[in-house]
Structure 1
Amino acid sequence: MASSGMKKEIGTDHDALRFGINAGVKSDLLPVHPLQSTLQSETKFWTDKKKFGTEAIYGSAINIRKDFDTQILSRFQRPPGALPSSMLGYEALTGSLDDFGFEDYLNMPQDSDNFRQPDMHHGMEVRLGLSKGPICPSFN
């Protein structure tokens, strides 16, 4: 991926040191690693299999209800302020509460020395389009 300051031009020689080995239109469309595509296809397969099973047992209404709940809960966010959005309902619905990755405990902004408490009023103005800038300028 190119950084925000550098632009790729069509028809020029590829600079592997600046843009990476597989930079180009093809690499933007393909997954980063072959294992990633395998994981995505496996996840999609088991999700479809579970949907088929629940439809066979309970009918198609349960899958439609789950899809609506997923759409609603994936958009829910807490207003900017002291507490970040946890998306607990969405995680409970999708079953990802049990997944615990390194991003859950490493590099948390609250543990930083230069963390500033977010301004709720400015954050809502940015979200509504009344003002510009980051919602929470916590780092200098």
Structure 2
Amino acid sequence: MEAPKTIAHEIGGVRADALRFGLQGVKSEIVGSHPLESAYQSLKDNQEDMKRRMLANTYGSAFPLKMELDRQILSRFQRPPGPIPSSMLGLEALSGSLDEFGFEDCLNDPRDSESFRPLDMHHGTEVRLGLSKGPACPSFM
């Protein structure tokens, strides 16, 4: 039997295509950007869990399940890849994040950054249809 003459470009289920996705850093995938980020995320998860338990005690166990189903449906609804980004307004209204004012609201738009990479519409559609692997929109270099 002959050995295959092709080199596998897939590492860990993700295609290692440096031209399309840029160079991958292992440290950035393992460690968060700041130590407070993990504390903030755990606080947010604890608050959501407490809210879910409170709703289950008040309205019954089916109500949090219905809200989770609505959240899953609204998180999947997106525009096709293109010049107009998905706003996820329904998900923000359901989660209550429309009422919050975070640091991302007062800083500049990330698309104005010099390191922003324009969207490849064809690759985004391939990822959506399951023809290609990788992030649908690798936005930054």
**TM-score, normalised with respect to structure 2:** 0.55
Larger CA Rg, structure 1 vs 2: 1
Give the 3 Å change call, closer, same or farther, for CA 65–108 of structure 1 in structure 2: same
Bigger shift: residues 44-53 or 100-109: 100-109
Partner of 1:65: 66
| Residue 36 (structure 1) shift | 2.8
| Counterpart mapping for 1:121-136 below 5 A | 124=125, 127-128=128-129
Relative contact order (alpha carbons < 8 A, sep ≥ 6): 1 or 2 greater? 2
Residue of 11, 20, 23 corresponding to 1:4: 23
| Counterpart mapping for 1:109-128 below 5 A | 109=111, 124=125, 127-128=128-129
- Asked if 2 retains the 8 angstrom alpha-carbon contact of 1:51 and 1:63, the reply is yes
CA RMSD of aligned residues (A): 4.3
SS of structure 2 residue aligned to 1:96: coil
The residue type paired with residue 87 of structure 1 is M
| Counterpart mapping for 1:45-124 below 5 A | 45-104=46-105, 106-109=108-111, 124=125
Identity %: 52
Give the 3 Å change call, closer, same or farther, for CA 6–102 of structure 1 in structure 2: closer
- Asked if 2 retains the 8 angstrom alpha-carbon contact of 1:77 and 1:85, the reply is yes
Structure 1 gaps, min length 5:
8-18
- Asked if 2 retains the 8 angstrom alpha-carbon contact of 1:80 and 1:124, the reply is yes
Partner of 1:38: 39
Task: Detail structure 1 runs of 4+ shifted over 3 Å in the superposition.
Answer: 29-32, 100-105, 117-131
Bigger shift: residues 46-55 or 35-44: 35-44
Give the 3 Å change call, closer, same or farther, for CA 98–6 of structure 1 in structure 2: closer
| Residue 5 (structure 1) shift | 6.7
**TM-score, normalised with respect to structure 1:** 0.56
